[in-house]
Amino acid sequence: MTPGARIEAAIGLLHTIGDGGAPADDTVANYFRRHRFAGVKDRAAISKHIYGVLRHRGVIDWWLEKHNALRDARRRMLAQLALYEEWNPDQISRACDGDQFRPGRLDYGETQLVEALAGQKPEHRDMPLDARCNFPAWLTPFLERALGRDVSREMGAMQTEAPLDLRTNLIKTNREEVLRSLEMEDIRPGPTPLSPIGLRLYERVPLGQSETFKRGDVEVQDEGSQLAALMADVKPGMRVVDFCAGAGGKTLALAGQMKNRGHLVAADVAGKRLERATQRLRRAGASIVQRVTLTGARDKWVKRHAEGFDCVFVDAPCTGTGTWRRNPDAKWRLRPKDIEELTAIQADILDSAQRLVKPGGRLVYATCSLLMEEDEDQVEKFLATHPDFTLKPIADVWRDTIGTDCPVKGDMLRLTPAHHRTDGFFAAVMTRKAAPKKPKKAKEDEAVDDAVEAESEIADENSDG
């Protein structure tokens, strides 16, 4: 493909993604499946164009508004080329010559735009925080509340490309064996800084072709997500529920910690997503998993299995603000009403899921959100209305599971890209108070109770008759 053809493809895909359209990763993947002629370099260039616009859209839109230009896919692409990819006006004009498969010729306003942007530094002193840090303006108070003075630093980290993290499948192997296996395939990851079972790849590799991956020895999972799952501290032989299992990432992590011994339920309202987990479960050798499709948070299955599990893991649906490194388009799809709707859903899910926890059992609440409304606030409201649960200090949990000093302060786990080089993740661990032991009754008291109960049953039968 010519440079112009790559730009035209990127503009078309950006238009499809749009404001609130299909997720970028699905849109791009579907395009490449339909256009097999696109080579490796073509795919890399098109992806660079697209994700560049999505990551830098706040800055790009500020410049477009400054120059009275339309904020559409074509103009955003032109600005991306000029500001971030450092194309000069002549290069842009040659690529956009209107020939077959290439963008149409620049009009007068577009020519003026690319000439004005040529050589400009992307950030300008007049830019507000949201434009400079590339997030929707309405999110400013939410992010400032959660991140304080670190907003600029954290949002800057969100604009970088996330590394590829792998989780060792403890059902089949250990991290040291996986390292040796991958090195034999000329793949050289390093250990993740915090997760004792994670590996980090510092360059892109065709992982799907790796025999180590095909055998199910590793799974793709961000280090933050691995750590959240480790906080559940599940053990072999336990009864465990992954209440919002989705495609099974956390389910697989939990199965590994359980050494594939016990009973693990993967529950979700999205039956199709659970079905897609089948192949992953089979490859990983996770035979203890039972999949349960729920009709909703209040499904009768929950009532039938009340207080029947040692641990319930709730990876709640959320805004996904912690995953913007991987999904930069997601920030532009968010709307103010989403926070209100999602926090209500989270509270309902948490209130329902807690019914499954047995006395002395553990409830883990996790999100991939940075917002306190979805994280600390949600936990505090839950504890205020469920006095039989107590919050377990995360430093204690970390020491028991990881064996090192906890990298966060406070009683809940909050991981961020700038501070911990993970996706943004939150986790809180709560335990249900054990049922008080009933004092033993004297034999005489038991005899009296039995007599009273028998008389009551006879009275009930007579009244029914």
Q: What is the CATH number of the domain that holds 33?
A: 1.10.940
Catalytic residue among 96, 244, 368, 406: 368
Answer yes or no: is 449 within a domain: no
Residue 244 designated active-site: no
| Together in a domain, 370 and 250 | yes
What is the pLDDT, as a whole number, of residue 465?
36
What pLDDT, in 10s, does the model give residues 236-259? 999 999 999 988 899 999 999 999
Answer yes or no: is 444 within a domain: no
What is the pLDDT, as a whole number, of residue 271?
86
pLDDT at residue 19 tops 90: no
Give the pLDDT mean for 401-428.
Answer: 95
What pLDDT, in 10s, does the model give residues 6-18? 999 999 999 999 8
Answer yes or no: is 140 within a domain: no
DSSP 372-439: TTTTHHHHHHHHHH-TTEEEEPHHHHHHHHT-S--SS-SSSEEE-HHHHSS--EEEEEEEEPPPPPPP
pLDDT class of 124 with cuts at 50, 70, 90: very high
| Together in a domain, 108 and 240 | no
pLDDT at residue 454 tops 80: no
| Together in a domain, 235 and 118 | no
Number of structural domains, the chain?
Answer: 2
| Together in a domain, 120 and 229 | no
What pLDDT, in 10s, does the model give residues 301-321? 999 999 999 999 999 999 999
pLDDT at residue 323 tops 60: yes
Give the pLDDT mean for 261-286.
Answer: 91
| Together in a domain, 240 and 122 | no
Q: What values do phi and psi take at 217, rounded to 5? A: -75, -25
pLDDT at residue 378 tops 80: yes
Cα-atom radius of gyration of the chain, to the nearest Å?
A: 27
pLDDT at residue 425 tops 90: yes
Answer yes or no: is 437 within a domain: no
| Together in a domain, 304 and 417 | yes
CATH of the domain at 414: 3.40.50.150
Average pLDDT, the chain: 91
What is the pLDDT, as a whole number, of residue 444?
52
pLDDT at residue 20 tops 70: no
Answer yes or no: is 183 within a domain: no
What is the pLDDT, as a whole number, of residue 149?
93
| Together in a domain, 232 and 375 | yes
pLDDT class of 3 with cuts at 50, 70, 90: very high
The residue type found at 128 is P
pLDDT at residue 49 tops 60: yes
Answer yes or no: is 35 within a domain: yes
What is the pLDDT, as a whole number, of residue 445?
53
Answer yes or no: is 81 within a domain: yes
- Assign 102 to helix, strand or coil: coil
pLDDT at residue 456 tops 50: no
**How long is the chain?**
465
| Together in a domain, 233 and 116 | no
What pLDDT, in 10s, does the model give residues 52-84? 999 999 999 999 999 999 999 999 999 999 999
Torsion angle (degrees, nearest 10) of CA 407, 410, 411, 413 = -40
pLDDT class of 448 with cuts at 50, 70, 90: very low
Answer yes or no: is 229 within a domain: yes
DSSP 35-47: -TT--HHHHHHHH
For the record, the structure tokens of 310 come out as 């040692």
Residue ending a domain, choose from 127, 148, 165: 127
Residue ending a domain, choose from 127, 142, 159: 127
Residue 240 CB partners (closer than 8 Å, separation 6+): 232, 234, 254, 258, 262, 263, 264, 265, 309, 310, 311, 312, 313
Residue 211 CB partners (closer than 8 Å, separation 6+): 181, 185
Residue 19 domain boundaries: 3-127
Kind plus residue range of the DSSP H or E element containing 111? helix 108-117
Residue recorded with tokens 């992010």: 143
Residues in a beta bridge with 429: 364, 392
Of residues 83 and 462, more confidence is placed in 83
What pLDDT, in 10s, does the model give residues 26-42? 889 888 889 888 888 99
Of residues 458 and 121, more confidence is placed in 121
What is the pLDDT, as a whole number, of residue 37?
83
What is the pLDDT, as a whole number, of residue 451?
45
